[in-house]
Structure 1
């Protein structure tokens, strides 16, 4: 290349940069997405991306991985494409990044892989045609052949399959990765409606080369560290059950001490009653009596739980605040490095729902269950079906089955008929024995339906089978913990969001990547909409439009949530004529998007209240998630702050 040509290219770069600077004298805006009037182009920085002030010149500054930029300009210099990026849509530009170091991302949706234990792993295809042909299950024999070749790492260079989901579950909170959705197409997978997704798969840390290491075995590795926290109703009727629970725990400690002194298992205990101001003498709503960190030995555990006693008075009505007990266990128990985390709720009464004035959580079963899942905890419920609570049994069972629902396994609920102490004791012994056995499990074989033991109790058999499956999944995660970087690095591939072999099973969870500040903004905005509606200052149309505007903006461009509703004194997307523009092109949307004004008007008052209640419970979930600083990921490696991120499940958006 001649000096003249090189000089002209440099001058071009300077002119481009100068033009950008000139634009900043006025208010420059990012580039619009093609065909859109208000949505700007955005891009994610790949790990290792660097920022320069002039394309191809000057010192390069490292960029925090996965920073979401707005795109202001694009140029080509010496055959290399450069993108001018900014931190907001109001002209705050950061500099230039090579196009190859960015991932186009025009909304905030990403997916995370579900646990593949017991199922086929998700496959990443070279193009949409192959993904549709093979991933949708229309050619089973060829798909099976490719799958086996991928497992054996024997795919030829021209294979339609470019990568496979890791063999073990990768917890996005421990080994952060992103699978941003770049494009989508509708497709049927068997009889099920699915999506073809064009994605990039990018681990936060650079891939680590595989190092030959012997597989973990009981002889070479430690037992599965297991934390079990009992959340026990300590109201007047519960004294014999508290004593029997203590006896079950003592048996386990004795068994571990005799047969497996190296066993890594600890117990905790949280007691709950009810709201204290309405009834004198209840003393507390919840109390932690034993923490896991001090419950690894019988001496430590029983020195703490000896003071657990039932109250001397009855609460206001039969139901109690068991949800507050669960949340206390999630929030205040030191779960530390326990790989298996179990909460066992023991109660004879239903729970106060989030809309109950006496509720201490303002959360329902769905939002509380999600908070437990965010913290990798499974919830069991032992529901004592005593004669005194007969009128409450059906509604409480519905609550607790929803609370204990575990993805891919089912609910972990058991109703103790008649509430007999002896029967309760038998179930507690069997359940805890099973958890101890899983801690020491000597192999990785899939659980057999025979392992639950012979019993005529169908409910118990089903629960034990579910516990086996859950334990197997956790054991596999432990024995086959992937190294950081095990998520394949693929910057352009297609996948199907359902399993071709099991079309009813989804292979991914859809999430919205939010910063902690953005979640706080969502909390404030949604609360403001609900309060304004409660005051009668919003018509049904404007109420729905505000909620939809907030949900669409959170999914499309979270930075622009402030001022996206009438309740905030601004205009919502519908007012500005942009609602459909925001919704069109989103591969997935939340509950509110399917609710029309006609639907709302046709709903009975009860259904309208239930809809509002779910929104109010999500407000409480946002606050709880915001306060769980241990869940947030700081992509720059620093302490948790407003820029730390968390992939919020899509169903938790409005």
Structure 2
């Protein structure tokens, strides 16, 4: 194994790799429209992988009465208290001088001062930290042996585990690095891991396993927890990079170590992901939003969708009245390019409605346009983006049914009005817990568009927790019977599964209605949504330090952990302001034929403390324009390597796509900032400005 300990230390950003023959430069920047590169996850983290020693400790600046700052990153220095630790009034571990007893484990504290530190013996460090729960003032002193320095706000989150049969296994948390490393190095890693899971299922927790992720999914964007990365080591499993991570575990506002020795935690962690009849939930609801292309030739499909909704009302009268609400978003093309289209997207249901109301609107109001487009592609991405902003009900399972016969304009195209593509929207669908089923109408007269549209539709319809499976179905656009059967099976299939799960009576029978076809794609989509819903009752482990693998121990191809970075609103805002200036510079350079850095200096120079850094920088990372915390993170970012030579070599289309990529991130930052419930307090005493959001690495520039 190649080992690199000390993730908390600053690491150099990767240089942009050489451009392979036949590969566009932009492919190496952000990925191109029409295909989805793999999520970077932990593979995006930088490191020396054991070939070089860890970097020396960055200087810490501590001013009287103020929080200590890391000089290189300008981030406040924080520590994570170990279990059963105390804050003392003075630098004296006298029980009589305890100011705060039994500080919450692994809840970050700000450092105001460091005295007499000697960290040469990691097992028994000496010295003291003056700490505080807020930036405003210090609370007292903690011994160095009682805390862990946490330099970067990197943490991991559990991935969606998938279903109970084909999904991944829960993360096992090992007491000691050597136990996990020995397992990973074993030729029969999968067999040994299965034995550990069997022992846990039998109630006989293995000595080397301190705790375990619950079988049920705990979504960090809904149930906030903290898994800071303390150390890590890279290895390879079957030729694929994997990482062993030492993590701490904390849940704000909760106390007590959750180990497999604790009966209460062990029992809740072992509760099955989905448990058949035991999971009949009387409070279960579902929201279903249709996203429909209303360009020319789509009127028959609009009518058949209306009939399918009417079929839903006939089959499930009580269900659709009480439990199900519907939405409708239609899309066409850019009205800036073709004003006669009247709209690019329209939300016909500002508030979600019942099935009868939806059928009426499909009958009376929604019509396909008679105006033609400039090309075959439409604004599919804009339709999905608008539908994401629907007034979803709290607690309801959320579904979209996308119906279209054409691809969407890629990022950077003049008719792409959102600046987003299927990759951007898939991230937003996941964060919003919205599950999309795509119905692709295949027009035999447009076969050249099918290879473009299908990857877009498939990626949008990717089933959470699966390896490569999508809720994607295609049908001949001239086979009306086949389309009606498909839309009927999708819409009614979701509600039938709702009825079964909720323990409702059998659906109302109607001899005139054809039998409902069972679709595997609907089964898998429902299962993924139900796993999320049932996971709300699970509690993640807390107050432990352990070693974990970022992959499934039995099936290492499945990623078990994703990397995130905690950002405050202030940090997100400063990042957005910097990226906005980068976009302005890209646009100005394109118009004036200036070099990129020359344009960047004209746009940003007055806003910078040291504008001369722009002229001396070799790449965007060296300009000092972007927030220091971004440059301190040990992850690969090719955009930060942008320089004059690279910009000069890009085509007009590549520059446009780069602009749209950054604009899409800016739009995502805005949406995150406006989500009131998405921001969390690490400590109860934190002010609003110190609230944090677990930003996925994919959202970084």
TM-score of the two chains, using structure 1 as the length reference: 0.75
Q: Residue 241 of structure 1 is aligned with which of 301, 304, 307? A: 301
For 1:109, the equivalent position in structure 2 comes to 154
For 1:166, the equivalent position in structure 2 comes to 214
For 2:129, the equivalent position in structure 1 comes to 83
Q: Residue 253 of structure 1 is aligned with which of 296, 313, 336? A: 313
Quickly say closer, same or farther: Cα 1:335–1:613, change in 2 above 3 A. Answer: same
- Give the 5 Å matches for 1:580-595: 586=634, 588-592=635-639
Question: Residue 506 of structure 1: SS of its match in structure 2?
Answer: coil
For 1:516, the equivalent position in structure 2 comes to 569
Is the Cα–Cα contact under 8 Å of residues 44 and 66 in structure 1 kept in the other structure?
yes
1:427 partnered with 2:486: yes
Q: Residue 468 of structure 1 is aligned with which of 500, 523, 540? A: 523
- Give the 5 Å matches for 1:595-606: none
Shift of 1:170: 0.5
For 2:558, the equivalent position in structure 1 comes to 505
Question: Residue 624 of structure 1: SS of its match in structure 2?
Answer: helix
Quickly say closer, same or farther: Cα 1:513–1:562, change in 2 above 3 A. Answer: farther
Quickly say closer, same or farther: Cα 1:596–1:404, change in 2 above 3 A. Answer: farther
Question: Residue 342 of structure 1: SS of its match in structure 2?
Answer: strand
1:73 partnered with 2:114: yes
1:43 partnered with 2:79: yes
Is the Cα–Cα contact under 8 Å of residues 320 and 352 in structure 1 kept in the other structure?
yes
- Give the 5 Å matches for 1:201-240: 201-206=249-254, 210=264, 217=277, 221-222=281-282, 224-240=284-300
Is the Cα–Cα contact under 8 Å of residues 111 and 181 in structure 1 kept in the other structure?
yes
Distance 2:211 2:344 in 1: 51
Quickly say closer, same or farther: Cα 1:147–1:530, change in 2 above 3 A. Answer: same
For 2:549, the equivalent position in structure 1 comes to 496
For 1:150, the equivalent position in structure 2 comes to 200
Shift of 1:210: 3.9
For 1:552, the equivalent position in structure 2 comes to none
| Aligned residue-pair number | 585
Is the Cα–Cα contact under 8 Å of residues 229 and 267 in structure 1 kept in the other structure?
yes
Is the Cα–Cα contact under 8 Å of residues 107 and 682 in structure 2 kept in the other structure?
yes
Question: Residue 298 of structure 2: SS of its match in structure 1?
Answer: helix
- Give the 5 Å matches for 1:181-580: 181-206=229-254, 210=264, 217=277, 221-222=281-282, 224-257=284-317, 264-290=323-349, 293-295=352-354, 298-305=355-362, 306-338=364-396, 340-387=397-444, 389-409=446-466, 410-441=469-500, 464-479=519-534, 481-483=536-538, 486-536=539-589, 574=622
Quickly say closer, same or farther: Cα 1:248–1:407, change in 2 above 3 A. Answer: same
Quickly say closer, same or farther: Cα 1:42–1:598, change in 2 above 3 A. Answer: farther
Quickly say closer, same or farther: Cα 1:614–1:261, change in 2 above 3 A. Answer: closer
Is the Cα–Cα contact under 8 Å of residues 106 and 182 in structure 1 kept in the other structure?
no
Q: Residue 175 of structure 2 is aligned with which of 99, 112, 126? A: 126
Per mean C-alpha deviation after superposition, the further-off stretch among 44-53 and 509-518 is 44-53
Quickly say closer, same or farther: Cα 1:174–1:22, change in 2 above 3 A. Answer: closer
Question: Residue 356 of structure 1: SS of its match in structure 2?
Answer: coil
For 1:98, the equivalent position in structure 2 comes to 142
- The Cα offsets for residues 607-651 of structure 1, whole Å up to 9 and x where unpaired, read as 565455433322232223323334333456799954432211112
Shift of 1:51: 7.4
Question: Residue 341 of structure 2: SS of its match in structure 1?
Answer: coil
Is the Cα–Cα contact under 8 Å of residues 82 and 98 in structure 1 kept in the other structure?
yes
Quickly say closer, same or farther: Cα 1:318–1:162, change in 2 above 3 A. Answer: same
Shift of 1:343: 0.9
Shift of 1:127: 1.8
Distance 2:279 2:321 in 1: 12
Distance 1:494 1:64 in 2: 17
Question: Residue 498 of structure 1: SS of its match in structure 2?
Answer: coil
> What is the root-mean-square deviation of aligned Cα atoms in Å?
4.6
1:628 partnered with 2:678: no
Question: Residue 110 of structure 1: SS of its match in structure 2?
Answer: strand
For 1:649, the equivalent position in structure 2 comes to 696
Shift of 1:230: 0.2
For 1:9, the equivalent position in structure 2 comes to none
Shift of 1:391: 4.2
Higher relative contact order (CA 8 A, sep 6+): 2
Distance 1:569 1:52 in 2: 49
Question: Residue 342 of structure 2: SS of its match in structure 1?
Answer: coil
What stretches of structure 2 of length at least 5 have no aligned partner? 1-59, 118-124, 257-262, 504-516, 602-606
Question: Residue 367 of structure 1: SS of its match in structure 2?
Answer: helix
Is the Cα–Cα contact under 8 Å of residues 30 and 73 in structure 1 kept in the other structure?
no
For 2:20, the equivalent position in structure 1 comes to none
Per mean C-alpha deviation after superposition, the further-off stretch among 636-645 and 227-236 is 636-645
- The Cα offsets for residues 337-361 of structure 1, whole Å up to 9 and x where unpaired, read as 21x3111111222223332334332
Distance 1:522 1:232 in 2: 35
Distance 2:404 2:653 in 1: 28
Is the Cα–Cα contact under 8 Å of residues 50 and 63 in structure 1 kept in the other structure?
no
Quickly say closer, same or farther: Cα 1:402–1:567, change in 2 above 3 A. Answer: farther
Shift of 1:416: 2.3
Question: Residue 405 of structure 1: SS of its match in structure 2?
Answer: coil
Shift of 1:418: 3.5
Question: Residue 360 of structure 1: SS of its match in structure 2?
Answer: coil
Per mean C-alpha deviation after superposition, the further-off stretch among 640-649 and 341-350 is 640-649
Distance 1:22 1:231 in 2: 55
Question: Residue 558 of structure 2: SS of its match in structure 1?
Answer: strand
